[in-house]
Amino acid sequence: MTKHKNNDNDFSLFRAEFSGIKKLIQDNILLNTKNTKKKQFKQEVVIADLETEHFSDAFEPHLPEQGPVRYCREDTGKYLLKQLRRGDFPPEIILDLHGLTQVEAKRELGALIACCKKEGLYCCSVLHGIGTYVLKKQVPLWLAQHPDILAFHQAPLEFGGHGALLVIIELEDWQMKREF
């Protein structure tokens, strides 16, 4: 019986505290989404075509078979690979490809490179996972073909280890945040 009495007391206190409150009136604004969907779709198709034009499944660049996965463009110093291996460059953006098909992964990889170029991000991480080794084999081959990739190396353990790559993207001079 005391429990019932406490509940009544609590409700009366609650009513007393909130007695002068008025309900807010919410306005509803309806947006016209018919035209925006078409524009977005057309823009996505154009961007998707541009992003994957550098990636070919038929071409296989020569990558070292011994040791960790690594690549360094010819006009880039070899010290850059050592810096990547040590983890001197923390990734500014991370792309997770887990669960994607090869076509989806290729599209996302192209979008990542375009985003890094646009935003001035020089180091990114690509998490491809290990799984069935499909993306683990293909992602380095695609990256080595792209003209804006300076170097990539298997990520240190704190950035993904065997299931990830650290990638350095070539930026314009005005976008450079620090010297390599």
Task: Give the tens place of pLDDT for each residue, 101-113.
Answer: 999 999 999 999 9
Tell me the domains of the chain and their CATH numbers.
Answer: 34-58+66-175 (3.30.1370.110)
Angle, vertex CA 77, rays to CA 168 and CA 51, nearest 5: 30
Least confident window among 1-15, 82-96, 128-142, 156-170: 1-15
pLDDT, tens digit, 9 for 90 and up, residues 115-155: 999 999 999 999 998 888 889 989 999 999 999 999 999 99
Output the pTM of the full model.
0.66
Determine the average pLDDT of the residues in 11-22.
85
Between 150 and 31, whose confidence is greater? 150
CA dist 142 to 18, 69, 77, 105, 137, Å?
63, 13, 21, 10, 9
The answer to whether residues 124 and 153 touch, using CB atoms and an 8 Å cutoff, is: no
